[in-house]
Amino acid sequence: MSLTNATPLQVAQAARLGSRELAVLSTEQRNAALTAIHQALAEGKDEVLAANAKDLEAAHKAAEGGTLSQSLVKRLDLGKKGKYEDMLQGILDVRDLEDPINKTTSRTLLDDNLTLSRVTCPIGVLLIIFEARPEVIANISALAIKSGNAAILKGGRESNHSFAAIASIISQALSTTSVPSDCLQLVQTHDVIKELLSLDTYIDLCIPRGGNKLVRFVKDSTSIPVLGHADGICTALLLSDYPSDKATKIIVDAKVSYPAGCNALEQLLVDTPALTTNLPTVATALLSHGVSLRCDAPSLTSLQSSLPPHLAALLQPSTPSDYTTEFLDLTLAIKTISTIPDAITHVNAHSSHHTDAILTLDAATATRYLSAIDSSSVYWNTSTRMADGQRYGFGTEVGISTNKIHSRGPVGLDGLTIYKWVLVGDAQVSAEYGAGGKKWKHERLPVEEDEGVARDEEEREVLRRFREGKRAAA
Amino acid sequence: MSLTNATPLQVAQAARLGSRELAVLSTEQRNAALTAIHQALAEGKDEVLAANAKDLEAAHKAAEGGTLSQSLVKRLDLGKKGKYEDMLQGILDVRDLEDPINKTTSRTLLDDNLTLSRVTCPIGVLLIIFEARPEVIANISALAIKSGNAAILKGGRESNHSFAAIASIISQALSTTSVPSDCLQLVQTHDVIKELLSLDTYIDLCIPRGGNKLVRFVKDSTSIPVLGHADGICTALLLSDYPSDKATKIIVDAKVSYPAGCNALEQLLVDTPALTTNLPTVATALLSHGVSLRCDAPSLTSLQSSLPPHLAALLQPSTPSDYTTEFLDLTLAIKTISTIPDAITHVNAHSSHHTDAILTLDAATATRYLSAIDSSSVYWNTSTRMADGQRYGFGTEVGISTNKIHSRGPVGLDGLTIYKWVLVGDAQVSAEYGAGGKKWKHERLPVEEDEGVARDEEEREVLRRFREGKRAAA
């Protein structure tokens, strides 16, 4: 970990060189570095919290002066109960995940003694730009080292003291390991983001972790690929056949459990019959949770007549901009749709392609809908709030991507890897093949590493016969 | 296929809408469209060749006037023996490949009745910008439809008549199929590339097919992800232990078989002992094939003393720029390296991360080298010219990518797909899980589609026992 005042170019070049050394370290060497970082940060807790206290003091003053939001001050606080321990545990959790690199994911025999393998490897150099949260530095350092990537970290200036303390501890810890310290570069100097974002020769992937404004700024300022999402406009389509109790449970969770989350529900679509079957129950529950409902004309008219007057009085008419807004608070836009294709067209045009759900008992409609909606996560009968790396079983997440290439939805360690093609031969050359020459074999070989995969037709047959036997016995 | 004078925005919006309809068509519907296109182009051969003749006539005039290169004229010619038939066969080849979309590539049981699947799907809308070759239009149309993507095609103006003829035939053919004709948009109006490249709301991936200048221009002009490579600076490291005959065979193929290819060899690195073991034989063969050798000081001195005077006289000293140049002709830069780490550093800094080879009998050195070199394809004892989708067994290729994310090396149909996360539940919600609540199961489920994969520990055990039995019997 270099806590550096070097130029962005020097930082990026050093990270690039370091990344090549890191890429060839063994699983054990990378894991040992994470153990060392964990131990050093556990021992250095008082030191980090003392530095964090300085940041907090300044932040409190800024908040009083109105130049910093209270929620940002809260996010700065590493001393909050369990937060430091969670950060430490996160490092061990990442260490104990399966190694995402050096995995052979396909093998093809091109010809005798000419074998092509696809092997996972690190991407190279990551640029992580994040806002206040100082624990991100430990989290990202762990993810980067585990996946064999170098990382340049640029944090918000509000957490400068905390970063410096954490960086110096990680730096000392790394110096006892095989991971070159250039692999983690903490940049604290001001106004370097623009220059870092221009260094596409050295930086392979940029991950902004923060609000919509930060992500948009980054996306608009660089030709480096950016992994992430700017908006989280999630929708749910409620059909009239879905039981009111389940609909209420799902929609209340999606809207109320964490309205500031990118996976929170912002738009509820309903088919016309739902206006009288399940929507009234759902709307009543939402209103009782303090949710403002912005209704289109049909849903407004229908709910005004079906809800008791004290609730009906809370309903608001929607405006077109309500269907392009990420509210991030207790507000929900409601829209009535006549047909499923209308719903599909609306969602594909108005959602941010993050997470969209359908609630119905009709399997055929649901299947068609899941296929037609162009979003990173599509759900049937569950809450959009499920979109999260931990919930998906990734152990940890780098963020949630609405990109259309590379990695989509919650991104785990796999999203920080790519692959290379490894071809091993015995002096075969291209000119020997093709018209009149040798023929390509192109025989799919088993990926030896996975012992649960049948390696030839004989082994497939063994599996088949075992299954038949079991079926016959049952 | 719309042959259109609409604005780029209208084109992109229409393609986007069409892409959503195309995405939900069945394998059979997409394949039927390819059959229809194949038949129509077979029947329309005379019409297309007549249009092509007009382009050729104009091109010949331009070539005489010196405003067009002869190689471009050659590439325009669809009447060359077998070229039209190859184009037709290519459509059927793509049709008969495995469907790359709607494949479930992982399944996880998050909890009872709550199953997460990762399902492959099209990317959306592709923008293909290509130079003269008119057959690309059929090739790309086939790839796009097969992978469920809409495509906007912009070709060079030299082939306008050919494009118009092919487009009108494909358009008529599509009108008899389920594929909306808006899914393929041929843009012929001038000066629209810049505007198309700005439409990142509607276009998901840009694939430039053409020379280095085109690719650089596209990469520098858009925030849409670009798949491709600008340069093909491929290297080989020859170690002294590798037999001269095999070394010669490989290096002559890599340099001579198609020097204009992006996978042709541009730099030969040799270790110091190789200067006297195998390099003289290799150099003699290269010189006899008319290759200009640009040698660094040690290799120049050594070869001058070991080669016969008439060959030694052909050797040239290299300059630093020879190690950053894609020659694309019969020129090769030679560099002597003292250690393997020096070679690794040189290649990672000077190759274009396309394809790099090592020639040696030493497995440990080769393995280390393949792991340390940061390129899309890394080869041991074979020619860099092997880097090609057909040779890799992909059936066809979209291009070769030196990107660090999404798709790397030769890109087949898989490179035109991404995935979505499909979560199916029964009203489970996020707030039920976590501290004090329900526990996630996160149980990896088999991907049912592949019957050769063990679905549980019991089946893995069956495979293990079968293998042990075979080993014991052997």
Residues A122, A126, A130, A136: what is their CA dihedral angle, to the nearest 10 degrees?
Answer: 40
Inform me whether the pLDDT recorded for A449 exceeds 60.
Answer: no
The confidence score (pLDDT) of residue A458 equals 83
- Whether A365 shows a pLDDT value over 60: the answer reads yes
Q: Going by C-beta distance under 8 Å and a sequence separation of 6 or more, which residues neighbour residue A67? A: none
Contact A276, A408 (CB under 8 A): no
CA distance A327 to A258: 12
Which among A81, A87, A74 is positioned nearest to A44, based on CA atoms? A87
Structure tokens at A96: 């104990």
Residue A270 DSSP SS3: strand
Which residues, other chains included, contact A115 with Cβ-Cβ below 8 Å and sequence gap of 6+? A107, A108, A109, A423, A424, A425, A445
Q: Under an 8 A CB cutoff, do B20 and A250 touch?
A: no
Given this structure, which CATH class describes domain A234-397?
Answer: alpha beta
Contact call for residues B76 and B157 (beta carbons, < 8 A)? no
Question: Nearest-CA neighbor of B422 among B17, B100, B123, B114?
Answer: B114
Helices (H) and strands (E) in chain A, counts: 17, 18
HSE-CB of A158 using CA atoms within 13 angstroms = 25
- The CA-based diameter of chain A, rounded to the nearest angstrom, is 85
Asked if B225's CB is within 8 angstroms of A370's CB, the reply is no
Contacts of A421 in chain B (CB under 8 A): 376-378, 387, 392, 408-410
Q: Is the pLDDT of residue A2 over 70?
A: no
Q: Return d(Cα A367, Cα A371) in angstroms, integer.
A: 6
Count Cβ–Cβ pairs < 8 Å, chain A vs chain B.
258
DSSP state of A24: T
Terminal CA-to-CA distance of chain A, rounded, Å? 59
Residue A1 binned pLDDT confidence (cut-offs 50, 70, 90): very low
Among residues B174, B110, B123, which one has the least CA distance to residue B438?
Answer: B110
CB contact A375 to B (< 8 Å) = yes
Q: Identify the bridge partners of residue B209 per DSSP, sorted by sequence position.
A: B130
- Assess if CATH 3.30.450.20 describes domain B2-220: no
Nearest CA in chain A to B202: A349
Tokens at B69, concatenated: 């290169």
A440 chain-B contacts, CB cut-off 8 A = 391, 393
Burial of B450 from C-beta contacts in 10 A (0-12 / 13-18 / 19+): middle
Interface residue A40 vs chain B (CB under 8 A): no
| Test mutation, B370, B382, B445, chain A, max A CBs within 10 A | B382
How confident is the model at residue B448, as a pLDDT? 62
Q: What's this model's pTM, rounded to 2 decimal places?
A: 0.90
The pLDDT tens digits of the residues spanning A252-273 come to 999 999 998 999 999 999 999 9
What pLDDT is attached to residue B13?
Answer: 95
Q: Determine the Cα–Cα distance for residues A359 and A125; give it in Å rounded to an integer.
A: 42
| Cβ–Cβ below 8 Å for A420 and B20 | no
Do A160 and A61 touch, CB atoms closer than 8 A?
no
Min distance A364 CA to chain B CA atoms (Å)? 13
What's the mean pLDDT in A261-287? 97
Read off φ and ψ for residue A397, nearest 5 degrees.
Answer: -135, 150
Q: Give the strand pairing for B234-238 and A316-317.
A: unpaired
- A189-203, A285-299, A418-432, B272-286: least confidently modelled range: A189-203
What element of type H or E holds A275?
A: none
Distance in angstroms (rounded) separating the CA atoms of residues A82 and A90: 12
Token pair for B347: 């290649």
Give 3-state DSSP helix, strand, coil % of chain B, rounded to 5: 45, 20, 35
For helices A160-174 and A45-64, angle between their N-to-C axes, nearest 10 degrees: 160
Contact A294, A323 (CB under 8 A): no
Determine contact, residues A341/A350, Cβ cutoff 8 Å: no
The domain B234-391 is placed in CATH, from the list 1.10.1240.10, 3.40.309.10, 1.10.10.60, 2.40.50.100, at: 3.40.309.10
Of the candidates B205, B408, B440, the beta carbon closest to that of A404 is on B205
The answer to whether the CB atoms of B204 and A418 lie below 8 A apart is no
pLDDT for the residue numbered B312 = 97
Is B220 strand, coil or helix?
Answer: helix
CA distances from A443 to A106, A464, B394 (A): 11, 22, 12
Tokens of B176: 């008899």
The complex's ipTM?
0.91
Q: What is the pLDDT of residue B3?
A: 53
B447 interface with A at CB cutoff 8 Å: no
- Cβ atoms of residues B287 and B293 within 8 Å: yes
The pLDDT score that the predictor gives to residue B444 is 85
Nearest to B348 by CA among B337, B360, B362, B359: B337
Residues on chain A touching B254 (C-beta within 8 angstroms)? 429
Q: Report pLDDT for B66.
A: 81
> Which residues in chain B come in under a pLDDT of 50?
1
Of A404, A418, A424, the CB nearest to B204: A404
Mean pLDDT of A49-67: 90
Q: Dihedral of the CA atoms A421, A415, A199, B228 (nearest 10)? A: 40
Contact status of A391 with chain B (Cβ, < 8 Å): yes
Lowest mean pLDDT among A240-249, A385-394, B74-83, B338-347: B74-83
Count of CB atoms within 10 A of residue B462's CB?
A: 19
Give me the phi and psi of B279, to 5 degrees please.
-60, -40
Annotate A56-105 with DSSP letters as a single string.
HHHHHHHHHTTSS-HHHHHHH-TTSTTHHHHHHHHHHHHHTSPP-SS-EE
pLDDT mean across residues, chain A: 92
Q: For residue A67, give how far its alpha carbon lies from the nearest alpha carbon of chain B (Å).
A: 33
Judge: B404–A205 Cβ closer than 8 Å, yes or no. yes
**DSSP code of residue A387:** -
Query: What does the buried/exposed string (b/e) look like for B132-147 if buried means 16 or more CB atoms within 10 Å of the residue's CB?
Result: bbbbbbbbbbbbbbbb
Q: Which among B405, B408, B453 is the top mutation candidate for probing chain A, defined by the most A β-carbons within 10 Å of its own β-carbon?
A: B405
Is B159 an 8 Å CB contact of chain A?
no
CATH 3.40.605.10 for the A2-98+124-220 domain, yes or no: yes
Distance from A24 to chain B by nearest Cα, in Å? 6
Domains of chain A, by residue range, sit at 2-98+124-220, 234-397
Please list the residues that pair with A108 across neighbouring strands.
A116, A444
CB contact under 8 A, B421 and A108: no
DSSP code for A320: G
Does residue A440 sit in helix, strand or coil? coil
Helix axis angle, A8-23 to B363-372, nearest 10°: 150
Tell me which residues of chain A, numbers 245 to 304, contact chain B at a CB-CB cutoff of 8 Å.
Answer: 246, 249-250, 252-254, 257
In chain B, how many H helices and how many E strands? Answer: 16, 18
Whether A382 contacts chain B with CB within 8 A: yes
Mean pLDDT of A292-319: 97
